[in-house]
Amino acid sequence: MPLSESNILYIDDDDGLCHLTKRHLESLGCTMTCVLSGHEGLHLARQHHFDLVVLDHLMPDTSGMSGMSGMSGMETLEQLMALPSPPAIIYVTGSDDSSIAVAALKAGAVDYVVKSAPDDYFELLTSTLHLALDTLRLRKQKDLVEQELRETNKQLAALLHEVNHRVANSLQMVATLVHLQGRRALGAESKAMLQDVQNRIQAIARIHQQLYSGASIREVDMADYIEGMARDLSRTYSTHSVRRDILVEAESAPLPAATAVTLGVLINELVSNACKYAYERDEPGQVRITFHTEGSDGYRLRVEDDGVGMGKSMTPSGTGLGSQIIRSMVLFLGARLEQSSPGRGLCIEIHRPAGELPGPRSASQ
């Protein structure tokens, strides 16, 4: 907006200076309104829109409105800034004391002018008004850009929610197809392998389910995620006569989706191994999952059971594919894997210390 199109309110108890300033600014094309007190200026600012307000520091002890005590320039400034849509204010002072200007700027004024000889004052005031309008223009552009960014972020968030929704549905469909194929498979080993594949797909699908249904589109709450996975695995490995109870003690901590899905695959393998190999087929058993964070980027995951353990050899049962997946996931996370089987039962702990640089490490470290 050019200065010639602006609407200006001038608040100053000096009637002569008001008259001279009005004549000067109107000669530049401005629409100019002058008042002699803070009360009058505040009253007009509440009723009308002004692009700029020029406010004098020294105001009279009593206002032109009968029965009201006067407001100082600073009090008027504070009242104007408290309006729902405060105008841009230029603070005018006759003193060279910089503390007055600093206080006005802190209170919300966009600029200030020191009174001097009339010709110099008008030139300085005009220059300051131009700068203030440029500041207003930049603020409006900034607000517009920020609003556009907010709208874009909303659209991207909605799109990402939709993507996660579709990915989750697609993975669930794949898991269902694997399940149907498993029902037609010949031999217990083939059925078990297809069941493992289905569990792995569901572990990843659950991440995308939480991303589109949760509050965050980038992070997963590990307590909700692990508890949901535990319910799924308990249903998978329990029968009408034999229960596989999976107990969870997990901190409600948000983790990036990439980290969460890797931990999810780990949990799926560890719990599946415990459900399949720790207990006899007709023996009920319990598996316990514990997860806690350490610092801003560390965590500790423990899966333990009360089954037969692994003996002195610590050699995994089954095909060994699950153990390969576990080692690969631990390496990817840059974590440490520790396992112990002092007697009955097996405890496997995945630990990533806080503050360590990311990067793969040996799974045995």
Given a cut of 50, is residue 66 above it in pLDDT? Answer: no
Mean pLDDT estimate for the chain: 85
Quote the distance between the C-alpha of residue 202 and its chain's center: 27
> For residue 311, what pLDDT is reported?
60
Note whether 3-115 and 219-365 share their fold.
Answer: no
Encode 209-244: b = buried (16+ Cβ within 10 Å), e = exposed: bbbbebeebebbbbbebbbbbbebbbeebbeeeeeb
Looking at domain 219-365, which of 3.40.830.10, 3.40.1160.10, 1.50.10.10, 3.30.565.10 is its CATH number? 3.30.565.10
Given a cut of 50, is residue 31 above it in pLDDT? Answer: yes
Given a cut of 50, is residue 123 above it in pLDDT? Answer: yes
Residue 60's pLDDT band (cuts 50, 70, 90): low
Q: Which of 243, 242, 229, 260 is nearest to 333 (CA)?
A: 260
Q: Mean pLDDT throughout 89-117? A: 88
Q: Render pLDDT for 126-175 as a digit per residue (tens, 0 to 9).
A: 999 999 888 888 888 999 999 999 998 888 888 887 888 888 888 889 98
pTM: 0.59
Q: Render pLDDT for 245-289 as a digit per residue (tens, 0 to 9).
A: 999 999 999 999 889 999 999 999 999 989 988 898 889 999 999
> For residue 356, what pLDDT is reported?
67
Looking at domain 3-115, which of 2.40.128.130, 3.20.20.370, 3.40.50.2300, 1.20.144.10 is its CATH number? 3.40.50.2300
Q: Render pLDDT for 303-326 as a digit per residue (tens, 0 to 9).
A: 999 988 876 544 555 567 778 888
Domain ranges across the chain: 3-115, 219-365
Given a cut of 90, is residue 299 above it in pLDDT? Answer: yes
Q: Mean pLDDT throughout 339-356? A: 84
Q: Mean pLDDT throughout 171-184? A: 87
Residue 210's pLDDT band (cuts 50, 70, 90): confident
